[in-house]
A = this chain, B = another copy of it.
Amino acid sequence: MTTINDIAKRANVSRTTVSRALNNSGYVSEEARKRIMKIVEETGYMPNQSAKSLRTKRSGVIGVILPRLSTETSTRVVNGINEVLAKEGFQILLTDTELDRKKEIEYIRLLKSRHVDGIILLATNVNDELIQTIRNVDLPFLAIGQDLPEVTSLVYDDYHASADLTNMLIHKGHHKIAFIGVSRDDPSVGIRREQAFRDVMEREGGEINEHWMGTGDFSIDSGYEEMKKILRASGKNRPSAVYAVTDRMAIGAMEYLKEQGYRIPEDMAVVGIGASSLSQYVSPSLTTIDYFNKKAGQQAAELLLAKLKNEKVDQKFELTYRLILRDSV
């Protein structure tokens, strides 16, 4: 492995000068610069980033913490993050918590020890230890998806998105709407989306029936199972629509409904959230809400870069969304 010393020797200058030439810092004679660059070219020399990072305290690496590597939402966000970061010469150090809160905290500290310049967390829950850890590592930090106190957070407008979706169903004539949510550990998805649903239902005189309220775990299977439970529990008094808080659960619900011979949307309307590619190609195509995940990733990266440049950034950002009306309603 060639080092800066090798280049210096071959160019007949000190390594100080080589460093200056490479980083465009301080004066270097045109002559020396040319000699150095030529040798750099020839040897394919690349500075050792560990040494550089040790010295400068900057690594050019951003840590990204994901709840799950294999969901479309995560992938889109990471894609957006990477697009912006790569352009600025940053790389992503990727970690996957597999939805384990312990790991979330562990990885924040690990990333710190790996000298990342900043961290972007796709957050799925909010708890004191997490907040505490974030404060302690004292690194440029950005959360996406949950509103973390005292942390710069990009949040989807879950309340209004959910309210719009519910309103839309009501205005299409549905007053009996089943709901498939998730655990309240996830404030954004588990609490806010449900709260908006309940608020709108109440305001508009919809019927909320606890037999029609299910709790899934984000998976397609859980959507299927919850739909089954709801239908079995509801007896003669059946909902005419089902609102699942994620596309995957909505698609699971559709599977069960189709199996049971329900026509969608005639016998039962279905809506989800997420605008997954599945939602587009499933049959009938699923009405859903697009959260522009990729854009969220881009924005997160841009904000983090701003922080790295010591620019002041606001603490809270609300992301926009878009209702996509399709054939399932």
Nearest CB of B to A222, in Å: 15
Q: Are B91 and A48 closer than 8 Å at their CB atoms?
A: no
Nearest CB of B to A111, in Å: 8
The 8 A CB mask of A64-105 against B (1 = contact, 0 = none) is 000001100001101100100010000111111000000000
**A36 interfacial contact with B, CB 8 Å:** no
**A127 interfacial contact with B, CB 8 Å:** no
Q: Report the nearest B residue to A89, measured CB to CB.
A: B110
Within 8 A of B (CB), among A261-286: 277-278, 281-283
The 8 A CB mask of A101-141 against B (1 = contact, 0 = none) is 00000000110111100000000000000000000100000
Nearest CB of B to A82, in Å: 5
Residues of B within 8 A of A136 (CB): 44
The 8 A CB mask of A214-253 against B (1 = contact, 0 = none) is 0000000000000000000000000000000000000100
Copies per assembly: 2
Nearest CB of B to A19, in Å: 15
Q: Are A76 and B86 closer than 8 Å at their CB atoms?
A: no
The 8 A CB mask of A151-162 against B (1 = contact, 0 = none) is 000000000000
Q: Are A86 and B92 closer than 8 Å at their CB atoms?
A: no
**A47 interfacial contact with B, CB 8 Å:** yes
**Known: A48-B115, A69-B79, A278-B277. Contact between A92 and B91, CB under 8 A?**
no
Q: Are B94 and A69 closer than 8 Å at their CB atoms?
A: no
CA distance in complex: A283, B286 (Å): 13
The 8 A CB mask of A47-60 against B (1 = contact, 0 = none) is 11111011000010
**A163 interfacial contact with B, CB 8 Å:** no
Residues of B within 8 A of A51 (CB): 50, 54
Q: Report the nearest B residue to A258, measured CB to CB.
A: B283
- With beta carbons under 8 angstroms apart, the residue of B76, B94, B95 that contacts A70 is B76
Nearest CB of B to A181, in Å: 22
**A177 interfacial contact with B, CB 8 Å:** no
**A13 interfacial contact with B, CB 8 Å:** no
Q: Report the nearest B residue to A286, measured CB to CB.
A: B281
CA distance in complex: A78, B74 (Å): 13
Nearest CB of B to A219, in Å: 12
**Known: A93-B91, A114-B91. Contact between A69 and B82, CB under 8 A?**
yes
Q: Are A49 and B79 closer than 8 Å at their CB atoms?
A: no
Query: Can you list 24 A-B contacts with CB-CB less than 8 angstroms, sorted by A residue number?
Result: A46-B110, A46-B112, A47-B113, A48-B113, A49-B114, A50-B50, A50-B51, A50-B54, A50-B59, A61-B114, A70-B75, A70-B76, A70-B79, A78-B94, A82-B96, A86-B95, A91-B94, A91-B95, A91-B110, A93-B94, A255-B281, A278-B281, A281-B282, A282-B282
Contacts A46-B109, A82-B96 aside, 16 further interface pairs with beta carbons under 8 A come to: A46-B110, A46-B113, A48-B113, A48-B115, A50-B51, A50-B53, A54-B54, A75-B75, A82-B94, A91-B93, A92-B94, A93-B94, A278-B278, A281-B281, A281-B282, A282-B283
**Which A-B residue pairs are the 6 nearest by beta carbons?**
A283-B283, A46-B113, A50-B53, A50-B54, A69-B79, A92-B94
